[in-house]
Structure 1
Amino acid sequence: MAAQNFLLHVHTSTDIVRKMTLSSRPESVDELKTMIGEKFNLDFNFSLSYQDPDFDGQLCSLLDIEELPQKAVLKVIRSESDASSVASDDTIILPHAMTPDRVNRWPDVFPVPIFSYEVEFLLSDGNATYDRTGKTLKLSRRQKHDILETLAAKMHSFKAYPNDKEVSMVAEALVIKHPCLKEPGSQTGWYGWKNSLKFKMGNFRTKLSRAGFHEVAINSGKRSRNNPNKPSPHTNIKRPKRAEVNFLPNFPRGENAASLERLRLQIVDEVKKSDKNLSLIGKLMQTTFALRRNEIVSDDPPVDEILERWPALKMESQVKTFFVLHLFEQIYHI
């Protein structure tokens, strides 16, 4: 049997895509990196990540060549330690500070996750019974809680505030995959699941807010029984716009507002120099991204104030980086 070609889409820079066809699987990841480097004239150190089809296209580091799919989307990640790396390069740098809690936008088809071992066993048996007799499965309160909690976590991996249509999509996907969960007498078979998911997402956001997740904590502290004079909890909700993934990330691990403020002042000093260290400025801007987003989302300052506090945003290299990263978010859902 003839070997099949490997079809690769390789993202090496600001180009939308570069195609590459291999007659066979390379012997190792290093060999693949050599082939990519030679074909696209890459003169720097880099690693490779690929969109894993087993995990809804999320980016995974390519460490074992056997993990390379027959049709793969690869991303060249330039090593931060590379001595030739500068912020004005065309190559996209995706540092730890820019990695969001979620890496994909809301999908066209919602992937129902795997539930606990017990629930999966019950669903498997329940689906078989439904196929034979049309009888639906009756769940205990704890089992239903497991399903709703797992679905809420999966929904949050795409969006913290799904709209009515998106919640409906999740409920429908659930009963399509597990028809034994259909609601007898319901026109859709999933309307009750939809309502339960809405309440569960609200509870899920509350737990995340108490745990300190900035994206949802910023919307807490609204009107309640103990604070009747505060704004309605449904007004002025701060949430991502369309195609916006890195809305309000938490600070990088080990950093806080004070440490990031020191880095911001270092950026201000470096920008004032006639001989600017572009590589240093780029890395500092990436590390302080969460602080900058927190100021913009929480305080809503005027543009001139933002540029005064973050003068590197006036630099061509940083404007380019900003638009390239947002372009990748919108096109590749990273």
Structure 2
Amino acid sequence: EELPQKAVLKLVRSQSDASSIASDDTIILPHAMTPERTQRWPDVCLVPAFSYEVELILVEGNLNHERTGKTLKLSRGQNHDILETLASKMHSFKAYPSDKDISVVAEALVTTHPCLKEPGTQTGWYGLKNSLKFKMGNFHTKLSRAGYKVNFLPNFPKGEDGSSLERQRLQIVDELMQTTFSLRRKEVINDDLPVGEILERWPALKMESQICAEFHRITNINLKNHFYSELDRHVPRLQSLFRKKAARTGKVSEVLDQLFNTYDRQVIDVNVLRAAVLRALPTYLHEDDSGFQHIIKTCNESALSDELQIDNIPVGLLLISATSTDCGILPEKVAVVLEGNTVVDFPTFSDAFVMLFALIYGLHLSYPKDLANTFDFIQKVFDGP
């Protein structure tokens, strides 16, 4: 009968030398063994197949145990094969199985192979469980020596999940940013560091939550709530003014008319209304926003530098879309650019605009010269009555 092929190193020895088949000091890793865990811990523990020789011994031992009740005494090499196989299988599910997990495996082994039950113990597998715990530690050492990443995909700590750990991460970031606020303000105000260097030193300022938090630390104002509250209060009046202007003649009126005709074709919601007003404001104030708002049609973000030299943009917004025919009106996302650095992007124009406003404030930057009136107006709107 043809033996099944297995990617293992097999040593053939005489019967008298069978006890030294393998040594715990020797690192022999099957080609199929990988440290990555792609399976979940099973609800029902299934004992894996061992080497061909060990399986034959276990079959014979189980038959003999059924007839006589005698247990099987394994050689050192046979015991090593069983423990090594079980450790590898457990590691494929969990890098660090709990005491309960190991107990389940030990119990499953003696249930499947009753000839391995330990006489004189209440469970029949207590010693086996301890051997498995030791073998798991030895297994991690072997993987580490072989160059594997033992903690490539560690399990969540007990009682934690992805959501709870994410909350802790954000809390830690917020606490550290709060503690280092004075140092950061010194660098921004006194040291006058370039934006790129500031963002490299404080990468959390690329997070929306920390942009808002930094603005609150400086002004003690809830940025988005206050900004949108004031903007929404003025939107009806501003839109009425802009539409009246669009109905007249002249270059400004033509641009506004085209803008609102495009917006009127969209499904109107609060984000569309906000974007319409913010996009129309520079035109109404006779300011040129061509150096501030850049329309990019691309499906490859890495191609942005080919589409536009953003290094030359001191302060601006990139309106990015791969498919939309109205990219300039309803882009798929809008990126904030400061001194040639793409800081963060948002799904709506109004969100990107308010974050840009906050970053200008937080990084002590000047308003774009071509849009001085626009940003002064936004500042007055933000300050409220």
TM more than 0.5: no
Sort the TM-score into its range (normalised by shorter chain): 0.3 to 0.5
User: Which structure carries more helix by proportion?
Assistant: 2
For CA contacts below 8 A with separation 6 or more, give which structure has more relative contact order: 1
Using structure 1 for the length normalisation, give the TM-score.
0.39
Bigger radius of gyration, 1 or 2? 2
